[in-house]
Amino acid sequence: LGKVREKARVTETTSVMEEFAKACDAFAQQFGYYPGIVPEEVLAADPQISPMENAVLHLSGGAVRGDELPIYINGVAYDNLSSIDFDPEEPGQQGTVITFNGPNGNFDIAVYAGAVGDGPFVQGKRYAPFFSPKGSQFAAVKYDADDSGVLEEIKFLPTVLDAWGNPLMYARRLRANGPMVGTDVRSTQFSLASQARVLSATALGDLAQDQTDASTGGSIINKTTTSSATPREDTFAQIIRTPAIGAARQPQSGAPRGEYIVISAGKDGVFFSVEDGPGGPSTPVTDIVSSAANGTPTVIREYDDIIVAGGG
């Protein structure tokens, strides 16, 4: 019965991931880029929200960029983020202005979690929502047991969940050239720094798993640093690359699975746990890049994590 239940959860998770992917494709077809209301270089510098939350605000609504004012809601013009009433028919629905400390100065958005699902604003114009999931797989989650330092409005932001109640990871390709996962967001194809809200979580989602656990479990992406012999950027590149292209132990010279990648941590609730895949509780694996035994992109298939890629 347990195996049947787990298989059903995998199917349910894959379904919502594919639904999200279709929304990303529809958004890109209309606007020419993949969703994320805060520019990736800003999010990488100050990851107050996750890339998935960033995408939801662009696909479903609930936020306005400061550099896209004025906007009009029900015929009412707003040219100041703090004054936006997200539902003029019910006065008092002002959101919270979130200031991101970007590499070239501050970047502001107004966020109102109650307006997620009303449709996004793009270049000042409101559109019908591209993504409107129902039920338990679209909700706000906790990232840490103590989230007292997080802005209230961010705590209420819904994100896309897998069938185990954990938030999905979303990574979008920023450019066609450069290292697949580098340290400079201005030249890399994918940003790892922007994933900090998820990868630094100490009690993620319903399973409340610590992604940073240094003693036993934890994500393999957190087991090395940028300056390690096997940098964490190489590990992430090995995860998101297509196994068919490039040398096994040179992930940065490979090709990504798609223009965007969506990942579920699977039933263990940890993104590529060192105790999953080729590893185990007594034999954790921290190297899937240069290891003679495990340094190959095909090793990713051994993990319980689920990957859906698309675009292009």
Percentage of residues in the chain with pLDDT exceeding 90? 74
Residue 272 carries which side chain, given as an amino acid letter? Answer: F
- Is 309 a residue whose pLDDT tops 90? yes
Q: How many residues does the chain have?
A: 312
Per residue in 49-91, pLDDT (tens digit) is: 999 999 999 999 999 999 999 999 888 899 999 999 987 677 7
- Contact assessment for residue 144 and residue 168, using Cβ atoms and an 8 Å cutoff: no
Per residue in 139-185, pLDDT (tens digit) is: 999 999 877 667 777 888 999 999 999 999 999 999 999 999 999 99
141, 139, 68: which is closest to 107 by C-alpha? 68
116, 269, 258, 102: which is closest to 198 by C-alpha? 269
Residue 182 carries which side chain, given as an amino acid letter? Answer: G
Average pLDDT for the chain: 92
241 vs 25, 199, 252, 258, 298, CA distance in Å? 20, 19, 8, 8, 10
- Contact assessment for residue 122 and residue 55, using Cβ atoms and an 8 Å cutoff: no
Q: What does the alpha-carbon distance between residue 142 and residue 149 come to, in Å, rounded to a whole number?
A: 12
Per residue in 262-274, pLDDT (tens digit) is: 999 999 999 999 9
Give the tokens for residue 97.
Answer: 């202005």
Q: Sign of dihedral through CA atoms 195, 5, 131, 174?
A: positive
Per residue in 191-223, pLDDT (tens digit) is: 999 999 999 999 999 999 999 987 778 999 998
192, 193, 189, 209: which is closest to 201 by C-alpha? 209
139: number of CA atoms within 13 Å, CB side? 13
Count of CB atoms situated within 10 Å of the CB of 48: 18
Q: What does the alpha-carbon distance between residue 64 and residue 47 come to, in Å, rounded to a whole number?
A: 17
What integer pLDDT is reported at residue 127 of this predicted model?
A: 96
Sorting pLDDT into bands at 50, 70 and 90, what band is 307? very high
What integer pLDDT is reported at residue 153 of this predicted model?
A: 77
- Find where tokens 């895949």 sit: 277
